[in-house]
Structure 1
């Protein structure tokens, strides 16, 4: 049954509301008729940009009490997680990921169902599908999961637990698996990449012929908004991307254009890059730079009637503009 947003604003609880995805979603909800965002923040010093009601929940675990934050909530978007990092330091990483991403998620979902929440939208990860695709053979939403690292495994386990809980309680569950997310305010490797390009640093990535799917923050938020209410979303898993796959070389060239600089890419053969990265103990980095990871979003398009509203170049232009203004 479709969630009716025509008469009274629907209260949408967003976890991770001060994060990259969560803060953008809260702003979008705040500007969209029919919704009232309710933000979960980890620190009392942090408040979302939008004027939303906020609840302070410092820790997400199997023992977290969500209490008043769930009162009157129609939909939850669970964007908070223990996130993947390139250099994991925990001795037992899988156990640590499970505490937040599995046990914490299931605890929230069970309390939500008991509080009468109608729908639970879970922001998962393409890592549930796996780390790499063969050229021209993209992941689909209905492929068998094949996660290979603790983060991906924890997300897969959370998905399975949520779908089982949905069958038990009747609360609708929607799962979204984003690819690499970029957009204004992006951090980590993507922002470092823009810094290198802006400084004119020569980069040995001028002859990489892989294909990778990415998703802009605006496109991801657009899909989340659709999943809040669409009849066909309930019980489904969706992959999301910009709908255009780029090689590392193409991404660097397009980003340089957005920054208003000339890219200085040296055409070093892929096999030499991979050999050097492996020799330096950076195999995972070489896979990200040279390997392919494509997704097929035809299910998302067909079931939801959704198409990415923002083009890749427009998204890169907006990302670059923010970087140039605030770097």
Structure 2
């Protein structure tokens, strides 16, 4: 754990009922932080936390009650990336929450004399893929490719403009895929495949991907709450160890007490099958590279990921084994 002192004032965590929000609130309480949670409904947040129900988040949400006495806002709430988005206009839906909702909160935070606004963005602002050995850097020109990534970039741009020449500092954190106990989505599906011993056609893939354990992301967020060098900066998050898809599968299987059954199917054949099945995006994530360089995060903040990949995979596996059906 990186021990940067927390400010004495109260902290507001939005999205407190989510995967990261619950872990963050628990960690802040463990550090004797004064935490207030914002959730759609008061009963959704973690127990024993002062929770304000704010309803749906958009450009008209009233944050006045939630912001009373707040020194730092950690904004986790978002319309998340959706693999099969059925919205007629996905970008418009993402903008309602991720852009309008974020900037409405930030504007009210500024009026409420909040000192620092920490925005959890996404590596998708940088782009979808990297060439091997050429990772994304925090200060690269953004190249988002999908509606979610574009909405996060627009929120970042609006936040920086709002904070310019103001009394409120911003911090932007862009994580790649986050995993840990309670993870859902594709990572949970991967653990289920490995647990069942399903043969997977990924032995021939030679890529590199950066991930970030939930505990490492939470630790970075907490570091950014009070660190003076974090003010008005963008940071990338990561575990500091990049894995190929076969390595990730083997090490996750080992954490589950299993052996990964990997088949050497050529990447070109996988890509063809993916196009036929309408799974191109999912297979691209498994076959392509996406690396992040966290040197700026390390050097400016003196931050080191406190949890290793195998330790985080074991924690993820133990939780999965406890809840599997």
Shift of 1:5: 5.7
Report the Cα distance in structure 2 between the residues aligned to 1:252 and 1:119, rounded to whole angstroms: 39
1:292-307 to 2 correspondence within 5 Å?
292-307=289-304
Equivalence for 2:38: 40
TM-score normalised by L of structure 2:
0.97
Equivalence for 2:20: 21
Equivalence for 1:150: 147
Contact 2:42 2:51 in 1 (8 A): no
Shift of 1:153: 0.3
Report the Cα distance in structure 2 between the residues aligned to 1:214 and 1:298, rounded to whole angstroms: 15
Equivalence for 2:9: 10
1:1-327 to 2 correspondence within 5 Å?
9-33=8-32, 35-49=33-47, 51-327=48-324
Listed one character per residue, the Cα deviations across residues 210-254 of structure 1 (whole Å, up to 9, x for unaligned) are: 100000000000000000011110110000100000011100000
Listed one character per residue, the Cα deviations across residues 167-223 of structure 1 (whole Å, up to 9, x for unaligned) are: 142200000000000000000110111011111111111111110000000000000
Listed one character per residue, the Cα deviations across residues 35-67 of structure 1 (whole Å, up to 9, x for unaligned) are: 111111112431314x21100011111111111
Report the Cα distance in structure 2 between the residues aligned to 1:106 and 1:199, rounded to whole angstroms: 44
Listed one character per residue, the Cα deviations across residues 270-298 of structure 1 (whole Å, up to 9, x for unaligned) are: 11111110222221112101000000000
Report the Cα distance in structure 2 between the residues aligned to 1:61 and 1:46, rounded to whole angstroms: 19
Contact 1:36 1:52 in 2 (8 A): no
Report the Cα distance in structure 1 between the residues aligned to 2:193 and 2:321, rounded to whole angstroms: 13
Q: Which runs of 5+ in 2 are unaligned?
A: none
Contact 1:147 1:153 in 2 (8 A): yes
Contact 1:208 1:270 in 2 (8 A): yes
Q: Which runs of 5+ in 1 are unaligned?
A: none
Contact 1:278 1:286 in 2 (8 A): no
TM-score normalised by L of structure 1:
0.96
Q: Secondary structure at the match of 1:67?
A: coil
Listed one character per residue, the Cα deviations across residues 78-135 of structure 1 (whole Å, up to 9, x for unaligned) are: 0000010111111111111101100110000010011111000000000000000000
Contact 2:22 2:45 in 1 (8 A): no
Number of positions where the alignment pairs a residue of Structure 1 with one of Structure 2: 321
Report the Cα distance in structure 1 between the residues aligned to 2:5 and 2:317, rounded to whole angstroms: 35
The 4+ residue runs of structure 1 with deviation greater than 2 A are: none
- CA RMSD for the aligned pairs? 1.2
Report the Cα distance in structure 2 between the residues aligned to 1:76 and 1:65, rounded to whole angstroms: 15
Report the Cα distance in structure 2 between the residues aligned to 1:312 and 1:44, rounded to whole angstroms: 34
Contact 1:101 1:154 in 2 (8 A): yes
Report the Cα distance in structure 2 between the residues aligned to 1:251 and 1:10, rounded to whole angstroms: 41
